[in-house]
């Protein structure tokens, strides 16, 4: 375990970290401290003097400008940003959602301050497969192709506004991880519909 910070350096260790969200476990590793009660007492002290904020039980942040995607993927792990959060940002869906949608091991909706987070259940063999997942800035996020397939995986019928954004080679590369015949048929339908639309535009 790493050497403990010297007295007066515990807070500095947190503030210098590129992370914006910290769990008790994170701080334990940073401080080289196994006793969670000691960690909690010290963190609450920093909270009381407004050096840190507590965003949720067991999770702290440097200030209110913390990365909400980072928080959303740290509460129930493993997890990654997907579904409408990615689909809307990438222009595949046009409807805006304030919720952050997260692929995880359970179905649940929670609120952290004014932010709602929707967790959607994925089977472990899908959730643990990294193809089409990018790790950046302290959180994991699906590519638009992975988010498209994730939504089909959990929804039998769904309308996508703009399939032209997708790289279909990547879609078919990722598809086998779901091991789902219904999905394979549905993706083929979406692809044929997209091809038909493109053909009509060319006329």
Cα–Cα distance measured from residue 178 to residue 144, given in angstroms and rounded to the nearest whole number: 16
Q: Do residue 194 and residue 121 come from a single domain?
A: yes
Supply 15's token pair.
């503030």
The CA–CA distances, whole Å, from 125 to 30, 66, 128, 146, 177 equal 31, 30, 5, 14, 8
The answer to the question of residue 3 being in a domain is: no
Q: Do residue 79 and residue 56 come from a single domain?
A: no
Q: Do residue 51 and residue 122 come from a single domain?
A: no
78 upstream amide cis, omega within 30 of 0: yes
| Residues with Cβ within 8 Å of residue 169, at least 6 apart in sequence | none
Average pLDDT for 108-116: 95
The answer to the question of residue 66 being in a domain is: no
Cα–Cα distance measured from residue 59 to residue 7, given in angstroms and rounded to the nearest whole number: 23
> Which pLDDT tens digit goes with each residue over 165-203?
999 999 999 999 999 999 999 999 999 999 988 766 655
Q: Do residue 86 and residue 155 come from a single domain?
A: yes
Q: How many domains does the structure of the chain reveal?
A: 2
Q: Do residue 154 and residue 87 come from a single domain?
A: yes
User: DSSP letter at 68?
Assistant: H
The answer to the question of residue 46 being in a domain is: yes
Q: Do residue 80 and residue 168 come from a single domain?
A: yes
Average pLDDT for 134-152: 96
Q: For position 202, what pLDDT does the model report? A: 57
The answer to the question of residue 68 being in a domain is: no
The answer to the question of residue 69 being in a domain is: no
Q: Do residue 103 and residue 179 come from a single domain?
A: yes
The answer to the question of residue 1 being in a domain is: no
Average pLDDT for 3-15: 76
Is the predicted pLDDT of residue 8 greater than 70, yes or no? no
The answer to the question of residue 173 being in a domain is: yes
Q: How confident is the model at residue 10 (pLDDT cuts 50, 70, 90)?
A: confident
Domain range for residue 56? 10-61
Longest dimension (CA), the chain: 74
CB 80 within 8 A of CB 140: yes
CB 108 within 8 A of CB 119: yes
CB 73 within 8 A of CB 140: yes
Residue 122: burial class (beta carbons within 10 Å; 0-12, 13-18, 19+)? buried
Q: Do residue 130 and residue 31 come from a single domain?
A: no
């Amino acid at each position: 375990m790493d050497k403990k910070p010297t007295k007066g350096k515990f807070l500095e260790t947190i503030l210098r970290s590129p992370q914006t969200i910290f769990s008790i476990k994170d701080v334990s590793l940073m401080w080289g401290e196994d006793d969670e009660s000691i960690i909690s007492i010290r963190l609450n002290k920093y909270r009381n003097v407004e050096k840190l904020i507590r965003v949720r039980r067991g999770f702290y942040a440097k200030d209110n400008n913390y990365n909400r995607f980072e928080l959303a993927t740290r509460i129930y792990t493993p997890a990654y940003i997907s579904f409408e959060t990615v689909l809307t940002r990438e222009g595949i869906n046009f409807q805006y959602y304030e919720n952050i949608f997260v692929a995880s091991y359970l179905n649940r909706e929670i609120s952290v301050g004014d932010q709602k987070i929707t967790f959607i259940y994925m089977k472990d063999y899908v959730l643990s497969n990294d193809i089409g997942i990018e790790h950046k800035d302290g959180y994991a996020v699906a590519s638009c192709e992975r988010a498209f397939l994730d939504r089909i995986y959990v929804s039998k019928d769904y309308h996508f506004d703009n399939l032209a954004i997708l790289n279909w080679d990547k879609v078919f590369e990722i598809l086998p991880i779901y091991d789902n015949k219904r999905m394979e048929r549905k993706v083929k339908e979406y692809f044929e519909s997209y091809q038909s639309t493109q053909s009509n535009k060319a006329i």
